[in-house]
């Protein structure tokens, strides 16, 4: 099963389903897409993808469920009735355990969750990571083969730790957006309109991401905590609205944990008092 490219049916031709199907077919995987509606099938064909036929459903070795979380149990039940013998059911939802797929007899179950914010089916997945989970060795080999073909770096996530894993993923994506909204609000207090603030802060955030890419977390960190400057941090806390100040305080506490051991003892002491003692 692992050496050849097994036939895949992607269920749901939305953002992720479209992106996975496009990338897999670009790598010459035999892939078709199952849509619920005529409109969905039209969308799939407009992307140059192949709508799934009954024969393809019968022959598929893996069904990749790219449907909303709420629909996964129902779609899994439906596919368990439709697919050929032994075909695997795999969902792509980071938040769901394998239990969401039910307990269909004789079907390997798995999860394949790309750590990528896909807002259009034409978005590229290459260079991102994917979290995989399955108890089947055969299916794991196939999911790893798919990841390799899609240029995704594999993380194996146990079912027990799935919630913590997904929380981390959400923090780094939606969390970064929420953080930016706090930064935009702070610039608003300085009289800078939202659009102009976002346009000014995005390149700054990107340069910070490049710093992490090049040098890791601790050495990628910049700002007054790294410089051991409790005076500046205190002035920031006093200037911000209470809600944004709370965000700033929590993030500065994390920054201090990252680099505190590198600071002179006096600076570490001042920052610890300011940030942790109230």
Ligand X SMILES: NC(=O)c1ccc[n+]([C@@H]2O[C@H](COP(=O)([O-])OP(=O)(O)OC[C@H]3O[C@@H](n4cnc5c(N)ncnc54)[C@H](OP(=O)(O)O)[C@@H]3O)[C@@H](O)[C@H]2O)c1
Name the region of 132 (left: φ>0; alpha: ψ -120 to 50; beta: rest).
beta
- At 127 the three-state DSSP class reads coil
The answer to whether 33 and 21 are in contact (CB under 8 A) is: yes
Extended beta strands in the chain, E state: 8-11, 31-34, 62-65, 88-91, 109-115, 129-134, 153-156
Shortest reach from residue 65's CB to ligand X, in Å: 8
In degrees and rounded to multiples of 5, residue 112 shows phi and psi of -140, 100
Output the residue with the shortest Cβ distance to ligand X: 14
In degrees and rounded to multiples of 5, residue 29 shows phi and psi of -80, 145
What is the Cβ-side half-sphere exposure of residue 5, based on CA atoms within 13 angstroms? 15
User: For residues 75-104, which are near ligand X according to CB under 6 A?
Assistant: 75, 92-94
Residue 67 near ligand X by CB under 6 A: yes
Shortest reach from residue 180's CB to ligand X, in Å: 18
What would the x/- binding string for ligand X be over residues 7 to 26, using CB under 6 A?
-----xxxxxx---------
Residue 110 near ligand X by CB under 6 A: no
Residue 274 near ligand X by CB under 6 A: no
Q: What contacts 247, CB < 8 A, 6 or more positions away?
A: 179, 182
Residue 197 near ligand X by CB under 6 A: no
Residue 73 near ligand X by CB under 6 A: no
Shortest reach from residue 101's CB to ligand X, in Å: 12
Question: Binding segment for ligand X among 30-38, 46-54, 147-155, 222-230 (CB under 6 A)?
Answer: 30-38
Residue 114 near ligand X by CB under 6 A: yes
- At 64 the three-state DSSP class reads strand
Of positions 47, 117, 141, 258, contacts ligand X by CB under 6 A: 117
The answer to whether 114 and 92 are in contact (CB under 8 A) is: yes
Residue 113 near ligand X by CB under 6 A: yes
- At 133 the three-state DSSP class reads strand
Shortest reach from residue 155's CB to ligand X, in Å: 13
Shortest reach from residue 141's CB to ligand X, in Å: 22
Of positions 27, 30, 40, 211, contacts ligand X by CB under 6 A: 40
**For residues 37 and 103, which CB has a smaller minimum distance to ligand X in the complex?**
37
Which residue, 239, 240, 234, 242, is CA-closest to 275?
Answer: 234
Residue 6 near ligand X by CB under 6 A: no
How many residues lie near ligand X (CB under 6 A)? 24
Of positions 69, 156, 159, 246, contacts ligand X by CB under 6 A: 69
What is the Cβ-side half-sphere exposure of residue 178, based on CA atoms within 13 angstroms? 11
Strands 109-115 and 62-65: unpaired
d(C-alpha 82, C-alpha 78), whole Å = 6
Query: Would you tell me which residues interact with ligand X (CB under 6 A)?
Result: 12-17, 35-37, 40, 66-69, 71, 75, 92-94, 113-114, 116-118
């Amino acid at each position: 099963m692992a050496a050849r490219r097994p036939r895949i049916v992607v269920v749901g031709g939305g953002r992720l389903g479209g992106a996975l199907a496009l990338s897999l077919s670009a790598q010459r995987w035999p892939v078709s897409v199952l849509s619920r509606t005529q409109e969905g099938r039209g969308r799939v064909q407009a992307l140059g993808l192949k709508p799934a036929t009954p024969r393809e459903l019968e022959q598929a070795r893996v069904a990749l469920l790219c449907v909303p979380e709420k629909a996964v149990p129902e779609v899994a039940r439906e596919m368990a009735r439709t697919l050929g013998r032994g075909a695997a059911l795999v969902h792509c939802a980071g938040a769901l355990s394998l239990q969401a797929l039910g307990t269909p007899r004789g079907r390997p179950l798995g999860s394949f969750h790309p750590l990528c914010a896909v807002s259009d089916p034409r978005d590229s997945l290459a260079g991102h990571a994917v979290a995989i989970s399955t108890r089947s060795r055969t299916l794991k080999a196939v999911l790893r083969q798919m990841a390799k073909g899609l240029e995704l770096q594999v993380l194996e996530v146990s079912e027990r730790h799935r919630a913590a894993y997904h929380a981390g993923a959400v923090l780094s994506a939606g969390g970064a957006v929420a953080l930016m909204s706090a930064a935009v609000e702070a610039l608003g207090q300085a009289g800078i309109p939202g659009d102009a603030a976002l346009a000014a802060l995005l390149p700054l955030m990107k340069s910070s991401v490049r710093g992490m890419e090049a040098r890791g977390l601790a050495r990628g960190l910049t700002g007054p905590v790294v410089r051991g400057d409790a005076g500046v941090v205190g002035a920031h806390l006093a200037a911000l609205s209470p809600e944004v100040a709370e965000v700033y305080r929590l993030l500065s506490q994390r920054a201090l944990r990252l680099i505190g051991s590198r600071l002179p003892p006096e600076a570490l002491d001042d920052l610890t008092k300011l940030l942790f003692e109230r």
